[in-house]
Amino acid sequence: MSKSPIQERAERVLVGGVNSPVRAYRAVGGDPPFIRSASGARVTDEDGKTYIDYVGSWGPAILGHAEPRVLDAVREALGRGLSFGAPTLGEVELAEEVTRRVPSMEMVRFVSSGTEATMSALRLARGFTGRPVIVKFAGGYHGHSDCLLVQAGSGAATFGHPDSDGVPAEIVKHTVSAPYNDAKALRALFASHGHEIAAVIVEPVAGNMGCVPPEPGFLEAIVELCQEHGALSIFDEVMTGFRVAPGGAQERYGLRPDLTCLGKILGGGMPMAAYGGRRDVMQKLAPLGPVYQAGTLSGNPLSVAAAMATLRGITKETYEHLETQGQALEAGLVQALRDAKVRGVVQRVGSMITLFFTEQRITSWEDAKKADTQKFAQFHRGLRAEGIYWPPSQFEAAFLSACHGPAEIEATITAARTALGAP
């Protein structure tokens, strides 16, 4: 199959033709569509084909693409200048709004990406506790900073090995990978290394091995063990923040971590992220404390404007709508699998959803790795042919937006039935 002219041009000047690896479609085959525009629940590519979109810019587009109130806010801010490298009133107002919605975030620091937020939160945790060890969970992705690029573990917790060339072993020797959803393994780890652990970082709803909810008691164990041993609990809510509930997963599950990382929806489609938490911890940051972190474009006024407009646009009715449409999509996909006699599991938390081609419910990375990725690739190509833009990896969650209504859900289920071969 020959490459499109745009793809050929892209591969001459961009590594793999993309600026982020999963966009290259290596997991599903074919060339990615080059998106020209987006509106509501749809995206249109350079060939003029329009798709119903479940990528949603990988999560930020909870209100849909090109939401008028967000665009108006950015245009208004644009008229005042692009960047100042100085404090603005908008930053203060946005911080007040974030701390109101997420009470565990007593103080906030804005940054430009989720990777920057998690990297900085971990540095802060080490600086606050004076300890070296970071615990993450197999299959959890927290950005591409060196200390987090650790090979996914299996079974018992293992000390890290670099999962990328260019990362010295010395960088990850204090990063431990433990099994997701295994509170027993985490307790054993704290029993043997609790005095060394600075923090435990977790996606409270995993989205980077597909949508995998926490088992009852798992998140509670993280928070409790950190409190007991003087470590910090960090909820990476870059994906779940403002999506699965107004206050994120921590509101949905009734927990209060020590630190929280936000991104995606927070920026409303613009580069924006944040980390924040307990006041005594955050006050260890420069200029108040000895832990250094800085950024020229942190709190950029255009991103702040988009963020505030997005948060103001998300209402109680938004979450009710997302839940209703998510339920309808889940039920339709389950029925399509049944009618097609295809083995699969649909997992959903609010407006995050994944269809796994496997026989059993997914609770960990070890489970997720057993999914039939070739079957998923076939399914993905079938959806694309029917005008559905689905994440191009078995291990990425799909997202609904406020613009996905009954017509979009019905069209998606019909397309899924065709892709699965259901009668």
CB 97 within 8 A of CB 309: no
Catalytic residue among 25, 51, 141, 180: 141
pLDDT at 172: 72
- Burial classification of residue 146, based on how many CB atoms lie within 10 Å of its CB (0-12 exposed, 13-18 middle, 19 or more buried): middle
Which of 313, 330, 361 is where one domain is finished?
313
Catalytic choice (136, 264, 367, 389): 264
Alpha-carbon distance of 20 to 43, in angstroms, equals: 19
At residue 175, the 3 state secondary structure works out as strand
Sheet holding 42-45, edge to edge: 35-39, 42-45, 50-53, 388-389
Residues 207 and 88 in one domain: yes
Position of tokens 């990362």? 167
Concerning whether 51 is annotated as a catalytic residue, the answer is no
> Does 37 lie in the same domain as 166?
no
Question: In this structure, is the dihedral angle defined by the CA atoms of residues 252, 324, 397 and 376, taken in order, positive or negative?
Answer: positive
Is residue 28 located within the same domain as residue 161? no
3 is catalytic: no
Strand partners, 200: 135, 233
Report the pLDDT value the prediction gives residue 173, as an integer from 0 to 100.
Answer: 77
User: What is the rounded CA–CA span in Å between residue 258 and residue 234?
Assistant: 6
Domain identity same for 108 and 223? yes
Query: How many domains, in total, are found in the chain?
Result: 2
- How far apart are the C-alpha atoms of 100 and 186, rounded to whole Å? 31
How far apart, in whole angstroms, are the C-alpha atoms of residue 138 and residue 275? 22
Rounded to an integer, what distance in angstroms lies between the CA atom of residue 78 and that of residue 408?
33
Whether residues 285 and 389 share a domain: the answer is no
Structure confidence at residue 2 (pLDDT):
74
CA angle 400, 406, 412 (to 5 degrees): 65
pLDDT of residue 3: 86
Do both 165 and 287 map to the same domain? yes
CATH at residue 146 = 3.40.640.10
Catalytic choice (53, 236, 258, 367): 236
Query: What is the residue-level pLDDT of the chain in tens, covering all 423 positions?
Result: 578 899 999 999 999 999 998 999 999 999 999 999 999 999 999 999 999 999 999 999 999 999 999 999 999 999 999 999 999 999 999 999 999 999 999 999 999 999 999 999 999 999 999 999 999 999 998 987 766 766 443 233 444 455 556 666 667 778 888 999 999 999 999 999 999 999 999 999 999 999 999 999 999 999 999 999 999 999 999 999 999 999 999 999 999 999 999 999 999 999 999 999 999 999 999 999 999 999 999 999 999 999 999 999 999 999 999 999 999 999 999 999 999 999 999 999 999 999 999 999 999 999 999 999 999 999 999 999 999 999 999 999 999 999 999 999 999 999 999 999 999
Q: Is the dihedral of CA 289, 290, 293, 294 positive or negative?
A: positive
- Catalytic annotation present for 236: yes
3-state secondary structure 218-242: HHHHHHHHHHHHCCEEEEEECCCCC
Nearest 5°: phi and psi at 209? Answer: -125, 25
State how far Cα 374 lies from the chain centre.
24
| 89 and 186 fall within a common domain | yes
Measured distance CA(214)–CA(207) in Å, rounded: 11
Whether the CB-CB separation of 159 and 119 falls below 8 Å is answered with no
The CATH number of the domain holding residue 351 is 3.90.1150.10
For residue 334, what are the domain limits? 5-62+315-420
Q: Are residues 306 and 341 in the same domain?
A: no
Please tell me whether residues 407 and 343 are part of one structural domain: yes
State whether 58 and 98 are in the same domain: no
The per-residue DSSP string of 268-301 comes to TTSS-EEEEE-HHHHTTBTTTSSB----TTTT-H
Give the C-alpha separation, 103 to 134, whole Å: 24
In this structure, the answer to whether residues 393 and 321 fall within a common structural domain is yes
Among 256, 283, 313, the domain boundary falls at 313
287/323 same-domain check: no
Residue with tokens 């998300």: 314
Last residue of a domain, one of 272, 290, 313: 313
| pTM (predicted TM-score) | 0.95
